[in-house]
Structure 1
Amino acid sequence: MDTSAARRNILARIRSAQGRPAAPTDAERAAAEDYLARHPTGPRPELPSTPAELVARFTLEAERLSTTVAEVNALNDAPAEAHRYLQSLNLGIDAVAWLSLGDLPWSAAGLDVQLRKPADADLVGITGCFCATAETGSLVLLSGPETPASGALLPQTHVAIVPASRIVAAHEDAFALMRAERGELPRAVNFVSGPSRTGDIEQTIVLGAHGPYRVHVIIVRGA
């Protein structure tokens, strides 16, 4: 569902109550951009900067979060790796995937993939990502008509395809990339850091408490 019009209407009413025009003026946008450019960033640890270092750090941090990681050479190799992973755990060949992944050779890889939002009965969800952060091993997912957030949150198993070129150093870099490429943020921005977990009961970590039991990341070196 596209909620951008409803959001604009809500913000317009707020601005009207403040005695301002319904839409931001060019001067307001310029002032906000100037503030972001001049505002000092907080302290950050030393982080990797080269592509190879970013992939290595992301893999290390993701595996610390109980995410499994595999690498393939090209995007079209991702379905075969997804099939290998699912078969290794006897999880079957059925999955749902983002519409944006519709051009990949799922059938040729032996998978029965439906391009739609997941339902309660769907056990495997396959998504891409907007980017990923090396510092925390997190996936950054932006919701949209072709990239529903439920694809990563509802199924018991989440398989994510991550282009190596989209791994950034830290969360600050992820938000900077969103502003540079998207301008206006979508309805939901999700940072996925491994399988869902809780430690509420006797301080014992239990996976799959509020979402996927397992997360498998396929890093595409040539993308």
Structure 2
Amino acid sequence: MNADHFTTGASLRNRFLELENERKRSWAPEALAVNVNQRAALVAGHGLQPHVVVGDTLPPASLATVDGHTITLDELSAQGPAVLVFFRFAGCPACNIALPHYRDTLWPALRAAHIPLVAISPQPPALLKEIVSRHDLPFPVATDSNLALSRALGITYVFDAPSRSARTGKRRHQPRPERHRCVGAAQARRDRNRARPDRAVCRYFTRLDGPYGNTGDPVRSGVAH
């Protein structure tokens, strides 16, 4: 499996750019400036605060799923790697682009390789049902209650003052020796247009030996143990 042949990230990037262009056409200049300035500040400050890196061991976590079950990181990683995708909330425009994209690209290969994929948001399960039904998501969608796991990974931030004024009350969040919960690959970016989570997943599995790596499959994918 050659990561250079894995091109779904470029397609996702193009869809994000289409979203940005639509905002430029349709948003009021003042609202667009708030959004652009907030994202620019996040990009400029990226790396100043610690976030998850390869080799970290994640804390134990239990996540409530939309279908009423509870899953733990230990259960997810008991048989090998697992992929965690963090997203903001059910109504987030970018999330409604990314999750169905992963449904159509990442999920089939992961399912064939018996690798779990879980999408995680800080919203409660009752509110997350909307995005699951809208896109007929076949993988679990779960709640990171009180942002405990997201904060442990260092992937949350608080809106700046103009953004707080525009979105009152909202917060933007963005998943051997004993290897359960040990991070094998991670990508935490403040600029979604530069993110290539699909490629990070693919490259991780090209380095693995055994049933998950170097098998000749088009994609064998995973991010975090």
> TM-score normalized by structure 1?
0.26
> TM-score normalized by structure 2?
0.26
Considering fraction of residues, name the structure with more strand. 1
Considering fraction of residues, name the structure with more helix. 2
Of the two structures, which has the highest relative contact order with CA contacts closer than 8 Å and spacing of 6 or more?
2
The structure having more radius of gyration, on CA atoms, is: 1
